[in-house]
Structure 1
Amino acid sequence: MTVPPEELELAAAFPPAERDRWREMVKGVLRKSGAATDDTPLEEIEGLLARESYDGVPIAALYTRDDAPSGRPGLAPYLRQVRPDGEGLAGWDVRQRHADPDPAATREAVLADLENGATSVWLELGDAALPVAALPEALRGVLLGLAPVVLDAGERTAEAAEAFLGLVAERGEQARAAGNLGADPLGLKARTGSAGPPDEALREAAELAVRCARGFPGMRAIVVDGTVHHDAGGSDADELGAAAAAGVAYLRALTGAGLSVDEALGQIEFRLAVNADQFSSIAKLRALRRLWTRVAEASGASDGGSARVHAVTSSAMMTRRDPWVNLLRTTVAAFAAGVGGADAVTVQPFDARLGLPDGFARRIARNTQTLLLEESSLARVVDPAGGSWYAERLTEDLAHAAWAWFTEIERAGGFAAALDSGLVADRLAATWARRRADIARRKAPLTGVSEFPNLAETLPERAPAPSRPGGGLPVVTYAQDFEALRDRSDAHAAATGARPRVFLATLGPIAVHTARASFAANLFQAGGIETVTGAPEEFGASGAAVACLCSSDRLYAEEAADAARALKDAGAVKVWLAGKGTYEGVDARVYAGCDAVEALETTLHDLGVNR
């Protein structure tokens, strides 16, 4: 019998990896694409593939063990999260959100969720959502000692907290009830633009925290909602830095109300958005724990103060068009939340942009997490991202970028002052402008919206969802510009019986024009514009008023000018060309990286489709 070696050398049969050898191989690929030449120095190869995040964090082409060491699981700075192991299965809290104003419908949905995989409840309360007075009815049958409840009541937080704590006391569950009262006056200020100093609101939030700490040991009082910054178009560091600043403001208020630093830290929970950029989302959650540990250490905490994090799949990334693709987006985001070490995760139903989700959508949202937890065993691994040189470096760089933003807010007088001065809004607006431009140019593609749209889709019908209060930071969605164009097309079709149309005039054989014809069709359809394909002489019978030439550069040189002239003689008000060349008679061009939103706006205008 062969005796196995004491140490298994997995790469023993392979030659050692060398960075220059990797650069040579990459250079060979880049030469084929034209991004490099034979004269490109090897040391410049990695720079050709590098990029920057919206926070200015460099994203390199290659990472090695020298880039970032890992911390130890469960110890400061808590990059490597360790979850408590309950009944043999480690996992996060599966938290479902409910906003239906009908208490009977909410109760039915809450019980269905808890019976089928959800472990806690997130209730939106208020005038437009579930009435505060209906809280006992909505929670009838819910075992408050087993299922944590998180409240989200905005301006009615104090009233909702009183109603919930009264319900807990009435049922005798003071020692066992868990959850969060959802007090977040600074987040409410950011969302609604409420004027004036928040001192009174902070004092009321601190009083709730003291009440929880003294009489309801399983309850927290404070939520630091970073999603308001994400929903305004902010970057990861924008969200993290602002969340840290708001958290510090609450920490000051809670300790000022008589809580110790450790007690105050125990009353705060962070809520962050996670999206389909899985590595950035993983790094964001890990970076928050790094930031908050530093705050806790500076505040004199005894145990380092690991942050409790509630991750919510991004509202900004969700689309109304082709909403089924949201299933893929939220699955990737939920995976990132689990890998990043979130303590609680909310997966938004795929139809969230259409209104109140139905039972099927809520079930799929629950089962997404169940699959990750029970079938993929994702939570049984301590920090799956730990040891990934890319994830470690990205976490560290993001933490530094967020800390710089946090300290800028503190120098400006704190979070409330930074909101009042416009410092926060201006930074978010600048980030959103860069992201919006990338989306318009389809550098950040949205499947089913800016890429591969389905003009014949029938959207699911849903009851209207209650509108959330606004007036403060803007609320954006990544798909909004393309979806607005589609809305204009739909209105035109409803009024006239036909969609706006562009004729794709193809030159040469199919093999020559197919690639650019497909590209042009995909682009125009992203604006709700129907396309018809044919030879230039077929334009007159197409019913279109705008044409787009599609072929190869070689045929453009030979035929584009004559084809454009023929199209205009046949009545075309504008002739586009799929490609970058300049030819007589061609008015404009569409190409990879062009501003697709601008091109579609222009085309709809030329076709008489007004706003």
Structure 2
Amino acid sequence: MWSEFPVPTLDDWRALVAKEAGGKAAEQLASHSWDGLNYGACCDAALPTTASWSPSLDLEICELQPDQRPSQVEARPVLRGPLGLPALLALANRLDGVQAVEIDLWQFLQQPDYACLQQAKAGLEIRFTSQSWVQQGADGVHELAWSFAGLIEVLAQLETPPPGPLALKLSAGPRLLLEVARWRAARQLWDTVCQGFSLDWPARIHLVQDSRFLTHQDPHNNLLRSTTAAAAGLLGGAASIELLPCDSGPDASRWAQNVLRLLREEARMGGQTDPLGGSGLVEDLTQQVAEAAWKETQRVGRISEQTELWALARDQRLRFEDQLRRDHQGLVGVNRYVARTDFAGDPPRLTYASARPVAYAEAVRLIEEDKPLHHTGLLAPLEQLRWSEAFEEVFRRGRGKTLDVLVLGKLSPELKGRQSFVRTWLSVAGMEARFHVMETPEAFVAPAVWLLCCEDGDPDYKVSLKPPALVGKPPHNYEGVAVHQGCNRVYCLEQLLDRMP
């Protein structure tokens, strides 16, 4: 039977792409990510790259609380909380069953204590997280690059390797193929760094879901984001996966755990080594990420001495927010496919804070006296960044309102397209459109605030009718709200809502 279907060659596929593309080159059809990476429209098959791989194993996390005494701490496999690294290590050494501690890498580098790393008990994993950069707005490539720059700085200061391995914990958003590529690139960079320091550590790169993509609107979309992040980790080789609750409801944490169980037990993900190796697009993205991240890692050098990182992260944040507002990037349920639902519950409020570190010996004394370990004072918690906040604000203001829209002219395909555009734009603010379709404007009774929708080639109704808002290119000296492809849609909605009663 299979002999009836000849195997297509790569030239056959290229000819098919050229035919379907209508004469455009494949490069013209490529899309671009926020990180500056290219999604190729046609990628050649590739040989799979190789990198070390660790089995995925998720451990229960103990969240330490301010003013908590050591005797009140429940021993769990992972310890983290608002403490310096010496206090975390002293506590982990005292408690049975603790296998890892977590601390923010940037906060550690600001007040480093490299000697305390040698105090870790044998086999204790020290995980450095990247949340300082993530919450400032860093994109995926720079998060990866700065994390490895910090890891290199830590390793360079150690005379001998610590008793247990070091590890990184990075964030993952809902962009499946790009996140898979990031984790594959991270494992390659890990091997490169370990070879440079003559270390035989398999890649231990952990995943936490990117909280910036969580939304108030239709929080069940957060479950889909959790699913995508978890799938990326399982396909890309994450050493462990931490998913966030979709909202503050009592069942949200259990749902997050079930997402991971379903992917592992039902979809059988995570049981293979590098299952997407050899895919042309994945290999191409992996190479782009690895090259861009390693170039940035080499540029920054000693990351603790770099003062411009926050400005770079803020620029990346502003660029992505601008792309969202202009609809160049999509966030389901926020600026794409918006459901007119109530806000069901807040996403989890994560507190990324640390304390000024105490010396290891001092931490041991405080544990023996059963005194809180952060007595030297907490550092300021990191900003809680979410991409959807501006959209959610206009949604709160506009939900339930209706805008009269005058559709002027014969219903051509262009005019129908503009109607659809208006409906989609207003849905971002939870608003409805009441369309008045007319060929001439004489019968239209204009309310205080309304919107004109007509073709740009029609008679100059945009000037004679003086609409408070319009779709398309505005006339000269127009003072109303003009919405069109590529405009800042949130800003236009804010202007429109300011005019409405």
- For Structure 1 versus Structure 2, the TM-score category normalised by the shorter chain is 0.7 to 0.9
Report Cα offsets for 1:372-412 as digits up to 9, x if no partner. Answer: 111111122221111112212211221111111111111xx
1:132 aligns with 68
The residue correspondences of 1:192-591 to structure 2 (distance < 5 A) are 198=110, 201-203=111-113, 206-207=115-116, 209-212=117-120, 216-220=121-125, 222-253=126-157, 255-256=158-159, 259-260=160-161, 263=162, 266-301=164-199, 303=200, 305-351=201-247, 357-410=248-301, 414-418=302-306, 421-422=307-308, 424-455=309-340, 457-461=341-345, 465=349, 467-469=351-353, 475-489=384-398, 501-507=402-408, 514-535=416-437, 540=445, 545-550=448-453, 553=455, 557-558=457-458, 561-562=460-461, 565-566=464-465, 568=466, 574-577=468-471, 579-580=472-473, 589-591=482-484
2:477 corresponds to 1:602: no
Q: 1:271 to 1:460 in 2, by over 3 A?
A: same
Which structure is richer in relative contact order (CA contacts within 8 A, separation 6 or more)?
2
Whether the 8 Å contact between 2:236 and 2:274 is mirrored in structure 1 is: yes
Q: C-alpha distance in 1, partners of 2:398/2:107? A: 36
CA contact (8 A) 1:126 1:156 kept: no
SS of the equivalent of 2:257 reads helix
* Post-superposition offset of 1:157: 4.7
C-alpha distance in structure 2 between counterparts of 1:464 and 1:428, whole Å: 23
Residue 372 (structure 2) aligns with = none
Question: Which range moves more in the overlay, 222-231 or 360-369?
Answer: 222-231
* Residue identity in the other structure for 1:502: L
Matching residue's letter, 1:390: L
Q: Equivalents in 1 of 2:251, 2:170: separation in Å? A: 25
1:62-87 superposed Cα distances (whole Å, 9 cap, x missing partner): 1113xx43245xxxx32xx252xxxx
Q: 1:428 to 1:539 in 2, by over 3 A?
A: farther
What's the TM-score once normalised by structure 1's chain length? Answer: 0.69
What amino acid is the match of 1:417?
E
Cα separation, partners in 2 of 1:23 and 1:473, compared to 1, 3 Å: farther
SS of the residue corresponding to residue 60 of structure 2 reads: strand
Structure 2: distance between partners of 1:604 and 1:60: 40
Match of 2:366 in 1: none
Deviation per CA, 1:510-550: give whole Å up to 9, x if none.
78655432321221231344433334678647xx5332233
More helix by share: 1
Question: Which 5+ residue runs of structure 2 have no aligned equivalent?
Answer: 354-378
> Contact 2:216–2:346 at 8 Å: present in 1 too?
no
Aligned length: 472
Q: Tell me the SS of whatever aligns to 2:329.
A: coil
C-alpha separation between the residues in 2 aligned to 1:562 and 1:53? Answer: 39
Letter paired with 2:57: D
Distance 1:590 1:234 in 2: 30
| Residue identity opposite 1:349 in structure 2 | P
Q: Deviations over 1:480-500 (max 9, x none)?
A: 32123234447xxxxxxxx65
Distance 2:249 2:219 in 1: 14
Deviations 1:120-164 (Å, cap 9, x if unpaired)?
Answer: 22233243xxx532x65563xxxx5xx62x222234554454344
Confirm or deny: 8 A CA contact 1:226 1:239 kept in the other structure.
Answer: yes
Separation in 1, partners of 2:85, 2:396: 37
Q: Deviations over 1:247-283 (max 9, x none)?
A: 1222234x23xx33xx46x431211111111111111
**CA separation in 2, counterparts of 1:466 and 1:435?**
22
Question: Which of 107, 114, 118 is 1:188 aligned to?
Answer: 107
Question: Helix, strand or coil for the counterpart of 1:503?
Answer: strand
Paired AA for residue 311 in structure 1: L
Shift in Å at residue 599 of structure 1? Answer: 1.6
Does structure 1 retain, via aligned residues, the 8 Å contact 2:106–2:304? no
What amino acid is the match of 2:268?
A: S
One-letter amino acid of the structure 1 residue matched with residue 29 of structure 2: L
SS class of match (1:154)? coil
Q: 1:289 Cα deviation (Å)?
A: 1.4
Q: Give the conservation status (yes or no) of the 8 Å contact 1:233–1:475.
A: no
- Secondary structure at the aligned position of 1:359 is classed as coil
Letter in 2 for 1:503: D
RMSD: 3.3
Distance, in Å, in 2 between the alignment partners of 1:344 and 1:358 is 24
SS at match of 2:127: strand
Does 1:45 find its partner at 2:25? yes
- C-alpha change, 1:124 and 1:510, in structure 2 (3 Å) is farther
Task: Look up the equivalent residue of 1:202 and give its one-letter code.
Answer: P
Q: Distance in 2 between matches of 1:52 and 1:448?
A: 21
Equivalent position amino acid for 1:229 in 2: W
Q: Quickly say closer, same or farther: Cα 1:136–1:523, change in 2 above 3 A.
A: farther
Residues 18 and 474 of structure 1, relative CA distance in 2, 3 Å threshold: same
Q: 1:76-128: per-residue Cα shift (whole Å, max 9, x none)?
A: x32xx252xxxxxxxx223xxxxxxxxxxxxxxxxxxxxxxxxx22233243x
- Post-superposition offset of 1:312: 0.9
Deviation at 1:310, TM superposition (A): 1.2
Partners of 2:2 and 2:86 lie apart in 1 by 59
Deviations 1:2-29 (A, max 9, x none): xxxxxxx97883253243x545544444
Please show how residues 25-44 of structure 1 align to structure 2 within 5 Å: 25-31=16-22
Contact kept in structure 1, 2:219 and 2:345, CA below 8 Å? no
Matches within 5 A, 1:165-180: 165-166=93-94, 168=95, 173=96, 177-180=97-100
Asked if the contact 2:98/2:124 (under 8 Å) is kept, the reply is yes
- 2:62 corresponds in structure 1 to 123
In the TM superposition, what is the alpha-carbon distance from 1:321 to its structure 2 partner? 1.7
The code of the aligned residue for 1:93 comes to: L
Shift, 1:474, TM fit: 5.5
Contact 1:154/1:188, CA 8 A, preserved across alignment: no
Paired residues of 1:132 and 1:160 also in contact (CA < 8 A): no
Distance 1:373 1:158 in 2: 36
Q: Alpha carbons of 1:407 and 1:482: their partners in 2 closer, same or farther (altered >3 Å)?
A: same
TM-score normalized by the length of structure 2: 0.83
8 Å contact from structure 1 (residues 82, 383) kept in 2: no
Q: Is the 8 A contact 2:230 2:260 kept in 1?
A: yes
- In the TM superposition, what is the alpha-carbon distance from 1:319 to its structure 2 partner? 1.0
Segment drifting more, 362-371 vs 511-520: 511-520
Letter in 1 for 2:144: L
Q: State the match for 2:8 in structure 1.
A: 16
| SS of corresponding position for 1:224 | strand
Aligned residue identity for 2:291: H
| Greater shift in the superposed pair: 22-31 or 358-367 | 22-31
Is the contact made by 2:406 and 2:453 (CA closer than 8 Å) also made in structure 1? yes
Match of 1:69 in 2: 47
State the identity as a percent: 24
User: What is the DSSP-based 3-state SS (H/G/I as helix, E as strand, rest coil) of the residue aligned with 2:270?
Assistant: helix
For residue 450 of structure 2, give the secondary structure of its aligned residue in structure 1: strand
Question: Contact 1:500–1:607 at 8 Å: present in 2 too?
Answer: no
Q: Structure 1 residues 454 and 407 mapped into 2: Cα distance closer, same or farther (>3 Å)?
A: same
Report the CA distance shift for 1:545/1:30 in structure 2 as closer, same or farther (over 3 A). Answer: farther
DSSP-derived class of the 2:405 partner: strand
